[in-house]
Amino acid sequence: MTDTEAPPRVLVVDDAATVRLYHSSLLLEAGFHVDEAANGLEAVEAAMGTAFDLFVVDVNMPKMNGYTCVETLRSETVGTASPVLMISTEDRPGDADRAYAAGANLYLVKPVAGERLIRIATMLTAGRGTPA
């Protein structure tokens, strides 16, 4: 179903506008198509209307936090199998396990260096779309 000429579509989900800007800028520069959502509920609604190839999701967000967002993305409400990368300020023990239990593929602690983000995003979306 992927259009081989289209870059992978990423949804960046974070309540902080600066974080969205940082992650979006890096991904755009690397040739990804990027959309943004400011909380987990907005992300779920966006994912209902658009097939994303990758989700980059924060944890601490109002209305719907990241874990609930990822659970909902994986549930029949959305039902996406696309990779989910969680990036959070939280680094308590058990946070990564919680992320994986929710259905995330990877959990990273902020800040994530640009190169690392792109390497990981590229790896997770390999075979989905084609970066421009």
Partner 1 sequence: MGLVRKKAPEPVEEVAPERPSAEALRAQLDDPDPDCRREAALGLEGDEEAVPALLARVAVETETNVRDAILTTLSAHDTETVAGNLAVHLASDDAALRTAVAEALAAMPRSMPALLPSLLAAPDHDVRVMTAMVLADLNHPDTAAWLVQMISEDPHPNVVTAAIDALLPVAGAEHAAVLEEAVHRFPDDPFLRFTVQAALPRLTGTA
Partner 2 sequence: MASAPATGAGLSDADFTRFTEYFYKRTGIHFTPAKRYFVDKRIETCVRESPYDTFTGWFAALRVNENSGMLQDLINQLTVNETYFLREDYQFDAMLSTVLPNVLRDRGGVNRIVGPVKILSLPCSTGEEPYSIALRLLEEWDQIDHVDVEIHGADIDSEVLAKAAHASYGERSVQRVPKAWMNKYFTSVGGGRYQVDEGIRSAVTLHRVNVCDTFSMRAFRDFDVVFCRNVLIYFDELSSRRAAENLYGAMRPGGYLFLGHSESMSRISPIFTPTRLAEGIVYQRPTGAK
Quick check: 29 binds partner 1 (CB under 8 A)?
Answer: no
Q: Which of 17, 123, 126, 132 binds partner 1 (CB under 8 A)?
A: 17
Q: Rule CB under 8 A: is residue 28 a binding residue for partner 2?
A: no
**Least separation in angstroms between CB 24 and partner 1:** 11
**Does 111 sit near partner 1 (CB under 8 A)?**
yes
97-101 contact pairs (CB < 8 A, 24+): 98/67, 99/59, 99/66, 99/67, 99/70
CA 60 to chain centre: 14
In sequence order, which residues have a C-beta less than 8 Å from that of residue 25 and are 6 or more positions away?
none
Tokens representing 29 are 């520069």
| The entry of partner 2, partner 1, none that residue 22 binds, CB within 5 to 8 Å by partner kind | partner 1
Within positions 64 to 83, which residues make up the interface with partner 1, using CB under 8 A?
Answer: 65-68
Name which position in 3, 4, 18, 81 contacts partner 1 (CB under 8 A): 18
d(CA 99, CA 104): 5
Burial class (CB in 10 A: 0-12, 13-18, 19+), 47: buried
Q: Which stretch binds partner 2 (CB under 8 A): 3-11, 31-39, 83-91, 117-125?
A: 31-39
Q: How far is the CB of 52 from partner 2 (least distance, A)?
A: 14
List residues near partner 2 by CB under 8 A. 17, 37-42, 44-45, 48-49, 63-64, 68, 77
